[in-house]
């Protein structure tokens, strides 16, 4: 059985539909359509191996790219380059915003998203969306290639790689498989 095309994160307040998966594009990209709840947002972060392209479908999207804050409406686009700190948010207090994001190359983005949203849907994260088990966080940061702006990159890369490998040796990927591997009955994350 295939994985669900749509996943939901009750912490961030968004629904994500996979328009193109890594498998379908041969790893070239992942394209998702996001419906972000009023005042929903993610945290400031950056990536070193994949680019992001945003396009607004409906509503208004707030996007911080570096130090610049953008407000994009239907048809508006923005690109986020490697190593650039960014986050997205819905500035509306009443209306959701719908936008598309293309990540290229796909890397581990899709698995990371599926795992993170599955853990959130199953109540296995705190109120900020951080996994309750440190080993889950270690794996997500390692395979998701996501870095935090308040720590040096070299330190995070070494730390996340080490902790991710350690978690894998302890069988954490097997524990997380229901969220990202095709199974007879997918768990969590589906809407």
User: What are the DSSP calls for the chain, one per residue?
Assistant: -PPPSEEEETTTTEEEEEEE-TTTTTTS-EEEEEEEPTT-B---BB-SS-EEEEEEEESEEEEEETTEEEEEETT-EEEE-TT--EEEE---SS--EEEEEEEES-TTHHHHHHHHHHHHHTT-B-TTS-BSSHHHHHHHHHHHT-B-TTS-HHHHHHHHHHHHHHHHHTTHHHHHHHHHS--SS--SSB-
User: What pLDDT, on the 0 to 100 scale, is given for residue 98?
Assistant: 98
User: What pLDDT, on the 0 to 100 scale, is given for residue 121?
Assistant: 92
User: What pLDDT, on the 0 to 100 scale, is given for residue 53?
Assistant: 98
Which has more confidence, 139 or 28? Answer: 28
Provide Rg for the chain, Cα atoms. 16
Task: Give the separation between CA 86 and CA 139, rounded to whole angstroms.
Answer: 21
State pTM to two decimals: 0.86
Write the pLDDT tens digit of every residue in 48-86.
Answer: 999 999 999 999 999 999 999 999 999 999 999 999 999
Tokens of 48: 């070193």
If you search the block for the tokens 């191996």, which residue do you land on? 49
Write the pLDDT tens digit of every residue in 150-185.
Answer: 889 889 889 888 988 898 889 888 889 888 886 544
């Amino acid at each position: 059985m295939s994985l669900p095309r749509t996943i939901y994160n009750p912490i961030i307040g968004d629904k994500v539909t996979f328009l193109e998966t890594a498998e379908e594009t041969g790893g070239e990209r992942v394209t998702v359509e996001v419906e972000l709840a009023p005042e929903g947002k993610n945290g400031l972060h950056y990536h070193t191996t994949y680019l992001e392209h945003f396009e607004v479908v409906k509503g208004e999207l707030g996007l911080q790219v570096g130090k610049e804050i953008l407000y994009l409406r239907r048809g508006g686009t923005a690109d986020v380059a490697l190593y650039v700190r960014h986050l997205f948010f819905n500035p509306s207090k009443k209306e959701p915003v719908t936008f598309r994001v293309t990540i290229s190359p796909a890397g581990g983005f899709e698995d990371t998203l599926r795992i993170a949203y599955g853990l959130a849907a199953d109540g296995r994260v705190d109120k900020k969306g951080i996994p309750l088990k440190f080993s889950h966080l270690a794996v997500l940061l390692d395979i998701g290639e996501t870095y935090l702006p308040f720590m040096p990159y070299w330190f995070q890369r070494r730390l996340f790689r080490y902790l991710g490998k350690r978690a894998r040796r302890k069988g954490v990927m097997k524990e997380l498989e229901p969220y990202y591997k095709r199974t007879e009955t997918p768990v969590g994350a589906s809407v």
